[in-house]
Structure 1
Amino acid sequence: MTLSEVDLAAVTAELAERAEEHDRDGSFPYEGIALVHKHGLLTETVATRHGGPGAGLARTVDILTALGAGDPAVALVTAMTLFNHAGQALAPSWPEPHYRQVLAESASAPTLINALRVEPELGTPARGGLPATVAVRVPGGWSLSGHKIFSTGAEALAWMLVWARTDEDEPRTGSFLVRGGSPGLTIERTWDHLGLRASRSDDVLLADVRVPADATIELSRPTPDPRGAVLFAWNCLGLTALYLGVANAARDWLVRFLHERVPTSLGKPLATLPRFEAAVGEIEARLTAARVLVRALAEGVDAGDPEAARRAPIGKLTGARAAIESVQEAVALIGNNALNRHNPLERHLRDVLCARIHTPQDDTILTAAGKAALSQSRQRYGKEPSS
């Protein structure tokens, strides 16, 4: 089934049927992942040379927007798998036998993949530093021990790319391919979050987890990954699309509420009042601008435009702000009903706030953008600023 044959609106609607249930009890949405797998969406970014659809970032943005509107936890777990297949399509880094195994498993069942990088002491590696997770040489391979946090979909992952350092005199860092359920691997159910509760982004504890000698990725690569800017753009724009999907769902609920709500003092739906018309128009304008920007940047990345990849973090900043502000505006318009857990707007508000936590975060984006603009201005004006 190709993307053009998938009714994304129908997938959104089916995911939404159980999203509240999983959010309320913090349970992993296995049936939602099965639905995404059934429609082939978990493997849309598998390269054509491997027999996959070879979807680019723009199509991935469309998929994640639709899934985010239905169940953002499903969308987030799906995104991690899509990004990993996209990385392999752009420039192979997995040991070939292991990736063949992933593809074989993916043909018959949901095969979830995620990179586990964040640690309690280190925090996000985007801020620098070496991981505390250590790989020790043992006969036939490596022994891995450490502690990873915020491991999205941990309990359901088939493959974990565990970022670690070696215990060599001159440590190397890289990712080690760990199978879900490996001996010595423990999932600690620590995830008790404001939003995306069903993503089960729990802690993963590794105690002498054995990894074959060839099950490593980029352990010996001495130079920066040439795919870095492009894959970073995938992460920025793909995850932003997810939260724009959440905002779309909030907007749709708001519109329906305004049509159905008929105060006795008014005698007609709230949707007929100019105040609400203007407010919904403001939300629509904000979301439209963000959607167009994110989609256009994604198309540029697919076309190989380095400027589009460079601007992807600004797309994330703009899109995340638009999504959050739109849902907050919807809540302000509705009042108490918006914060009632019987209505989905309360859940959409909690979920959309998670847009802020993903790398790169706002301060990093703004500092980089400001430095670039000031550097260009110095070149334009021909002199360094006076001290």
Structure 2
Amino acid sequence: MRTMILLLGFFALTIFGTRADATGGHANDLHHGVNVLPASALHPFGRWMLTGAGEVEMIGSAVHFGFQFSGTGCAVYVQLPAGGGHNYLQYELDGVYQGSIRIEGGSRQPLVIKTGSAGVHTVWIYKMTEAMSGAIFIEKIAGQGLLALKRPEAPVIEFIGNSITCGALADKSMMACGIGDYSDHHNGYYAYGPRVARALKVNYLLSSVSGIGIYRTWNRDAPSMPQVYEHADLSDTGRRRWDFAQYRPVIVSIALGTNDLSKGDGKTPRAPFDSAKFVGDYVRFVRLVKTKYPAAQIALLSSPMVRGAEREMLQHCLMAVKAAIDAQYPSGRTVATFFFEPMVPRGCGGHPSVEDHALLAAQLEPFFSRLLRE
């Protein structure tokens, strides 16, 4: 049986003169009259599953859920798998982004969210890290006046991609590059996809994996996105299948190619980029996506990290994919393409920073806005 570990987190800051913090504490520190909202009553959005024990398993980048409480505080019971090390959540309180919360494996206390004022408060909690960083389990919420919130009815965009789409290595606010674990520099909330979605007031889910490509990873031949996409945890070894009936995206954005073009790690033998295989596998992957969402607009994005001749090659390949799909589906919406301007990234490990993601989102907003209107 899986042993579960409760969270201990800390975050505090002052906003507009009101102190809002999430601290390790006990549910009985709250006011009298506490009631419980089980995780099974929540309405998460993104890549998630409900466990047999009724817990919400937050899997993918930026999967999120919301709730209301009244009074000055509530307790969120958050758990990691046995040996889970640490992980991260992010949250908004009353519409204001508060920051990240480090979840330490081995702690036995719930996350207590406190406010400096009574009344009704709204919380949205997001998974900061991607699927391969491990799942985060929500057991229940304790407090007064609890109400599970649904995302407002709105179009949905699915963002498929690699580490850039995950928001990996973007955040240096907690520790400098080169220090800590890979997950310590993630920031799914501020990745370009969620930024675009919030700006356009639409819903979103991220199906993204660091290092992945259409036919190979950054330093190996496998797994590729077509091999993991149908698995709930975006892993080629995962046994659970993702339920594509949960959402009906109006747009599926695919941003892959950076890792197919990668020169690798310098240790593992690496064949030259095979444009014919890339295009062929990409066409087959788009066909797979269209079996899940027949009516969705497909949008192919290039990479802001690719420059020079490789940039031209990637763009040429994407246009070949578009031509093939448009020919195979003459009655459907034509495939849209977007080519990023080259970027000198300021994040860790040659990745876009949180600030860079804001620039990428600004480039993309008019593109997605037009697609949503068509």
TM-score of the aligned structures, taking structure 2 as reference length: 0.24
- Who wins on radius of gyration, i.e. which is larger? 1
TM-score of the aligned structures, taking structure 1 as reference length: 0.23
Q: Which has the higher strand share?
A: 2
Q: Which has the higher helix share?
A: 1
